[in-house]
Amino acid sequence: MNNALNAEAAASSVLVDHLVRQQTLGRSLAQPFYTSDAVFQHDMDTVFMRHWLCLGHESQVANPGDFLTRTIGRESVIVVRDREGVVRALANVCRHRGSRICAKESGNTAMLVCPYHAWTYDLTGELRAIPHAGDLASAVADPDNSLQLLQLRIVQGLIFISFAVKPLDFSEVERAIDSSYGPYDWKNARIAHRETYSISANWKLAVENYVECYHCGPSHPEYSTLHALAQPTDRIQAMNDAMRRRTAGNGVNIPEVEAWWPSSRQGGEAVCSFRDALYDGIQTGSDGGKPVAPLMGQFKSYDGGVTSAHVGPASFLVAYADYGVIYRFAPLTLQTCEMELIWLVAGEAVEGRDYDLKKLTWL
C-alpha cells in the first residue's frame, strides 16, 4: 500500500473509531455507518479483506477445469479445480495490466486466458504463455507473474476463502461446521437450486436484516408458523428439549458452538452454531412443515429441528433434516450488495422423483 492509501486508511480508521465512540449501545447504528464512503472502505479493509467468506459448495467445481467467479467489493475471485483435482482460489486479476480474466460466473476451461492481450495461465494460476512475447519471453518463468493465490479451505463441502495474507485461524470454524453439518452429510450434498438477489442497500442493512428475526412475525407470517421464535422462554425450552431427544433418537449429536465476540480479536474466525425446535408436529422448514426431500446424512427421521450457523461477517448456514440453505452476502458498492441462496439436498436426491423444487424453495 502506498503512502496515500495508508493515509486514507488511517483517516477512515479515525472516523470509524469516532463513530463507534459516539454510538449509543442498543440503538441503530448512526447513518454514516451505511452511507459514508470512508466507512465502506474501512469495512472492506477490516472486514471483507480480513475474514473468511463462504463462496459456495465444492460440487460447483466438481470436475477438473470447473470454475466459478465471485465479486466482493472491487475484488473478484476465481475458484478453480485443476487437473489433479486440487481446488484453489485465485485473484481474478491479470498480472500483465490488471484486466479481469474470467468474465463468466462459472464454466469449465482448460486454461485461464486473459481477454486483453491473451496472457495464458494454467489452472494452478501459473503463467504459461505470452503471445508475441518478444522481450517479455522471460516473464513466463517468473513466479511473480502467477495469479495471486488466496487462502482457501473446504469443510463439509463448503468453500471458504480469505483475502488476508495471514488469515484468521480457521480451526474453530472447521470443528463447528464438521460437528453441526457433518451429521447432515453436507460434504456429499448436491445443489438443488441457487438464487442471487441484488439488493439496493449497504451490506450491513442486508446482514442485520438476516440476523434479526424481530421482523419475522409481521414480515414473514409463513416462516413464523413453523419457527417458534416469539414464544415464552419456558415453552421454547420444552420444545427444544423434545427436539434434542428426537435428534438423539437418530443417533445424532450436534453440540452448540459459541466462539463469536472474542474470537476474531484473538486471531480466530468468529463462529457460532445453535439449534432451535420447530413447532410441535412441524417436521421441516417447508410450507406446512411436511417433508420435502429425502433425509440427509445420519438422519433416519425428521427431528423437527433447525441447525443454524453464523461464520464470520457474511456467511450463514441453515440445516433441516431433509434440506439445507447457504446464505452468503457480498458487498458490491457502498449502496449495493448481493445475497445468494444455495439450497442443498442429499447427494442422491433427484429432482421430480425425490423433491419438488417449488416446494423446496417456497419461502
Window contacting ligand FES (CB under 6 A); options: 113-121, 185-193, 212-220, 337-345: 113-121
Helix-then-strand count for the chain, H and E: 9, 17
What is the C-alpha radius of gyration for the chain, rounded to an integer number of angstroms?
22
Residue 259 is placed in which grid cell? 466462539
- Tell me which stretch binds ligand FES (CB under 6 A): 5-13, 40-48, 91-99, 134-142: 91-99
Least distance in angstroms from the C-beta of 110 to ligand FES: 17
Regarding 119 and contact with ligand FES (CB under 6 A), the answer is: yes
Q: Compute the distance between CA of residue 34 and CA of residue 29 in angstroms, rounded to an integer.
A: 8
**Which residue pairs, CB below 8 angstroms and at least 24 apart, start in 123-131?**
123/64, 123/65, 123/80, 123/81, 123/82, 123/83, 123/88, 124/82, 124/86, 124/88, 125/88, 125/90, 125/149, 127/95
Q: Would you state the cell numbers that stand for residue 89, as one nine-digit string?
A: 482460489
Interface residue with ligand FES among 18, 74, 104, 117 (CB under 6 A) is 117
Tell me the C-alpha distance between 8 and 23, whole Å.
22
Least distance from C-beta 275 to ligand FES, angstroms? 48
Touching ligand FES, residues 159-188 (CB under 6 A): none
Q: Minimum distance between the CB of residue 131 and ligand FES, rounded to whole angstroms?
A: 9
94 forms part of the interface with ligand FES (CB under 6 A): yes
Instruction: Single out the residue of 30, 96, 244, 279 in contact with ligand FES (rule: CB under 6 A).
Output: 96
- What are the angstrom distances between the C-alpha of 321 and each of 171, 214, 228, 240? 25, 25, 17, 15
DSSP bridge pairs for 317:
309, 326
Q: State yes or no: residue 314 binds ligand FES (CB under 6 A).
A: no
Of 25-33, 93-101, 244-252, 329-337, the window that binds ligand FES (rule: CB under 6 A) is 93-101
Output the smallest distance, CB 124 to ligand FES, in A. Answer: 17
**Spatial distance between the Cα atoms of 267 and 9, rounded to a whole number of angstroms:** 21
Residue 330 sits in the site that holds ligand FES (CB under 6 A): no
DSSP string, 92-134: S--TTT---S--SSEEE-SSEE-TTT--EE-TTS-EEE-TT-G
- Nearer to ligand FES (CB atom), residue 118 or residue 363: 118
Q: How far is the CB of 72 from ligand FES (least distance, A)?
A: 21
At which residue does the C-alpha cell 516473464 appear?
A: 139
- How many residues line the site for ligand FES (CB under 6 A)? 9
In whole angstroms, what is the distance from residue 29 CA to residue 162 CA? 27
* One character per residue 43-82, x = contact with ligand FES (rule: CB under 6 A): ----------------------------------------
All cell numbers assigned to 206: 442486508
Q: Which of 118/164 has CB closer to ligand FES?
A: 118
Does the footprint of ligand FES cover residue 278 (CB under 6 A)? no
Q: What does the longest C-alpha to C-alpha distance in the chain come to?
A: 76
Nearer to ligand FES, 117 or 300 (CB): 117
Least distance from C-beta 55 to ligand FES, angstroms?
A: 23
Q: Which of 114, 176, 199, 226 binds ligand FES (CB under 6 A)?
A: 114
If one asks whether residue 116 binds ligand FES (CB under 6 A), the answer comes out as yes
Of 59, 71, 99, 146, the residue at the interface with ligand FES (CB under 6 A) is 99
- Sign (positive or negative) of CA dihedral 126, 128, 131, 134: positive
Does 133 help bind ligand FES (rule: CB under 6 A)? no
Q: Which residues bind ligand FES (CB under 6 A)?
A: 94, 96-97, 99, 114, 116-119
